[in-house]
Amino acid sequence: MCALQALGFRIVRRGNHIALLRENPDGTRTPLTMPNHRRLKSSTLRTILRQAGIAREAFLYHYDKC
């Protein structure tokens, strides 16, 4: 979660799923919904990153800093 927040996402809602939102510089918004699990399958994480437009390397860089 810390890595996504470092990439500009903020938590909007938390329940069985976590809803996040990023305000982009061009005025658009990028919504993101992910399961509220302790561990995610690699395929689920890949899909989340692809939908959010986040490069794997950028995510791993911020993940290592958390």
Rounded CA-CA distance 46/13 in Å is: 22
For the chain, what is the domain count?
A: 1
pTM of the model: 0.83
| pLDDT the model gives residue 64 | 94
Tens digit of each residue's pLDDT (9 = 90 or more) over 33-66? 999 999 999 999 999 999 999 999 999 999 999 8
CATH number at residue 57: 3.30.920.30
**Phi-psi region at 27: left, alpha or beta (left = phi > 0; alpha = psi -120 to 50):** left
Rounded CA-CA distance 64/51 in Å is: 21
Q: Which domain holds residue 11?
A: 2-65
